[in-house]
């Protein structure tokens, strides 16, 4: 049985979604979003560009932070994908 994952508004097989996110991680910029009270701070990630290294960085350095890999530009601003959850994110 094939598992499905929705990324943004697109439905992928689990393998296709993971491969697509892994390719974005290798090729695109990654930012770390940290919530501090009512403020969200954005920091560029400069470590190795593999899913396991990014997730390890989050676990060991910043509790509650999210790693977002850049995907594309839209009318509402830059779009990216949360590396851990696969959720599509927009920021300014």
Has residue 7 got a pLDDT over 80?
Answer: no
Please write the tens of the pLDDT for every residue from 53-92: 999 999 887 778 999 999 989 888 899 999 988 888 887 7
Predicted local confidence at residue 88, as pLDDT: 86
Predicted local confidence at residue 1, as pLDDT: 38
Please write the tens of the pLDDT for every residue from 8-47: 555 556 676 788 889 999 999 999 988 878 888 888 999 9
Q: Which domain holds residue 59?
A: 4-90
d(CA 91, CA 68): 10
Q: Which strands form 77-82's sheet, in the order they lie side by side?
A: 39-44, 30-36, 66-74, 77-82, 88-90
Total domains present in the chain = 1
Residues 84/68, Cβ–Cβ less than 8 Å? no
Predicted local confidence at residue 2, as pLDDT: 40
């Amino acid at each position: 049985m094939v598992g499905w994952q929705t990324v943004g508004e697109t439905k992928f097989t689990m393998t296709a979604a993971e491969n697509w996110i892994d390719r974005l991680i290798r090729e695109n910029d990654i930012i770390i979003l940290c919530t501090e009270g009512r403020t969200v701070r954005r920091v560029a990630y400069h470590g190795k560009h593999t899913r396991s290294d990014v997730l390890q960085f989050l676990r060991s350095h910043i509790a509650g932070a999210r790693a977002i890999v850049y995907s594309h530009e839209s009318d509402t601003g830059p779009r990216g994908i949360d590396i851990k959850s696969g959720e599509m994110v927009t920021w300014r």
